[in-house]
A and B are shown apart, each in its own frame.
Chain A
Amino acid sequence: MLEHDKIIDGVTEKILLEKEVGVEVARQREMKWIEMFCHWDKWVKHRFQKVKLRCRKGIPSSLRAKAWQLLSNSEELLKNNPGKFEELEREQGEAKWLDIIEKDLHRQFPFHEMFAARGGHGQQDLYRILKAYTIYRPDEGYCQAQAPVAAVLLMHMPAEQAFWCLVQICEKYLPGYYSAGLEAIQLDGEIFFSLLRRTCPMAYRHLKKFKIDPILYMTEWFMCIFSRTLPWACVLRVWDMFFCEGVKIVFRVGLVLLKQMLGSVDKLRELQGMYETMERLRNISPDTIREDILVQEVSVCVSCVLQTAYIKLVSVFTQRHGL
């Protein structure tokens, strides 16, 4: 680990720059994670802060799949439901869901080798787990934003594991995000915008001035957990933190992005219109986002202010919406 001075938004901040983790360091990290896996329950119960810190540093890619399953508890779900996935697979499923799922199979990460070929393994597995979910939760059915999330999981683990991980994301991490009506995501959009007002008034005022509702840019960010938004290395780091800390990471990443894109007079000068601003938000240029800086910013994202503000806002909004 090297310590560097980095200029962010004109302010010099010390950040820990993990520059191409050397082989030695990588091996040490793997050992630490394997050690944690061996006594997982104890680590989570007694040394969660350490687990959190290690997730923020990035889970070694060789162990990521296992870590995600432990963090999300999906591994236990799988153990407690032996044969359930196969059973779900044997069912026919409802045509109205299967129709939309089939139309979406070739529209997820079309340039990823796993999903590029029509009818290839990736697309087949994607079909299997999305279909299984509609049978597992017939009341929920299928939501189009589940496909990219499921695809990211399939890039890391076999279909059955990916299925239970998806179940946890839909039910524990982002409950209601994919349900008919999409109320939860709209509610979180309002909460997100209120948080922005406190954390980056300049970006807030700009979006308000051009009447850019949060729903216009954060729907895809949040529902796909940034998998279509950020450079790939960042996606993985965000997901590592997300599996450990939950939805608040999604909020924080969103706030950091808005701050980086709309948080200074200079940046706003080029964005004098709704169209220009939306373009910027919907096509985040990969070279404006650095993995280490993003993680650093997310970690320090005035966490206690946010936490209290978030809790307050949730209760205000849920009351207002009569939820």
Chain B
Amino acid sequence: MAKQYDVLFRLLLLGDSGVGKTCLLCRFTDNEFHPSHISTIGVDFKMKTLLIDGIKVRIQIWDTAGQERYQTITKQYYRRAQGIFLVYDITSERSFQHIMKWASDVDEYAPDKVQKILVGNKSDEVDKRQVATEQGVKLAKAYGMDFFETSAFTNHNISETFTRLAEQVLAANKKDLDLLRTSINDELNLAALEEEEGLCDSAAGDQHKGCWC
């Protein structure tokens, strides 16, 4: 299958079990919401291509199991991410409190340059709300992150959230982006980019400056 994109990068969904990470992802990539679905065991991922600033951006979104004991597995993938969604459930105070722990794990295991965004999911469940919007705003401000309340069920703020994080990752990698722009009509370079998946992986472990990952 030919790869129809200019750049590829990885985003990671983190947050407690049951906050709706998989549902957010399904809504974003397939525009589907399944009230009946199964818990995520291990790691899964989906892809989607966005057009941002005239650049075809292929994003690979990794979905993780939320239970703490899976973190020994999922943490291995933090360092491969350029952007991270920290997701809580507005109907669960506990999941909101745990954001601090998730954020500190990200600081420890993800690359310094990683972009983060705070997401309060299940905004449609007004009656069960335990976390006020202001609390989310405040926390996001403290961490210097953007913040969205979303609903995978009603499709509220889903593409906005994913697009915003993708834009932030692009902006954070502006230098590389400019390089790409100057060479965008260069077939050789584009061909090289098509192999990028492999390159990214080999560069993921070290601080390869020229690579997107």
Contact = CB atoms under 8 A, between A and B. Distances in A.
Given A103-B17, A275-B60, A143 B42 contact: no
Nearest to B204: A211
Interface string A239-273: 00000000000000000000000000000000011
Contact of B72 (A107, A182, A224, A275): A182
B126 interface: no
Interface residues of A, number: 40
Contacts of B37: 107, 110
A273 to B, nearest CB: 6
Contact of A107 (B38, B44, B73, B201): B38
B41 A223 contact: yes
B197 A273 contact: yes
A73 interface: no
Interface string B65-98: 1011110110010000000000000000010000
Interface string B29-61: 000000011110111110100000000000010
Nearest to A271: B1
Nearest to B2: A272
Contact of A100 (B44, B67, B73, B202): B67
B17 A219 contact: no
Interface in A144-167: 144-145, 147-148
A293 B69 CA distance: 36
A144 to B, nearest CB: 5
Contact of B17 (A144, A209, A278): A144
Contacts of A211: 198, 201-202
A282 B44 contact: yes
A107 B47 contact: no
A274 interface: yes
Contact of B197 (A210, A213, A215): A210
B209 interface: no
A99 interface: yes
B47 A181 contact: no
A209 B197 CA distance: 11
A278 B47 CA distance: 11
A107 B45 contact: no
Q: Which bracket fits the contact residues of B? A: 20 to 34
Given A181-B69, A215-B73, A110 B198 contact: no
Contact of B43 (A103, A147, A219): A219
Given A143-B69, A182-B70, A104 B43 contact: no
Nearest to A278: B45
Interface string B160-201: 000000000000000000000000000000000000011001
B72 A209 contact: no
Contacts of A111: 36
Contact of B47 (A179, A182, A272, A275): A275
Nearest to B38: A107
A230 to B, nearest CB: 15
Interface in A269-304: 272-276, 278, 282
A272 B1 contact: yes
A144 B197 contact: no
Contacts of A145: 41
A30 interface: no
B146 to A, nearest CB: 27
A313 interface: no
Given A107-B37, A116-B36, A143-B67, A209 B198 contact: yes
Contacts of A69: none
B111 interface: no
Contacts of A181: 69, 72
A179 B60 CA distance: 30
A220 interface: yes
A54 to B, nearest CB: 32
A211 B196 CA distance: 13
Q: Could you say which of A216, A223, A228 has the most chain B C-beta atoms within 10 Å of its C-beta?
A: A216
A211 B3 CA distance: 18
A186 interface: yes
A144 B39 contact: yes
A278 B44 CA distance: 9
Interface of A: 99-100, 103-104, 106-111, 116, 143-145, 147-148, 179-183, 186, 209-211, 213, 215-216, 219-220, 223-224, 228, 272-276, 278, 282
Given A220-B41, A275-B60, 15 more contacts: A100-B17, A110-B38, A144-B17, A144-B67, A148-B41, A211-B198, A211-B201, A211-B202, A228-B38, A272-B1, A273-B1, A274-B197, A275-B197, A276-B1, A278-B45
10 contacts: A103-B18, A104-B39, A107-B39, A143-B69, A144-B65, A147-B39, A181-B69, A182-B72, A186-B72, A186-B73
Interface of B: 1, 3, 17-18, 36-39, 41-45, 47, 60, 65, 67-70, 72-73, 76, 94, 197-198, 201-202
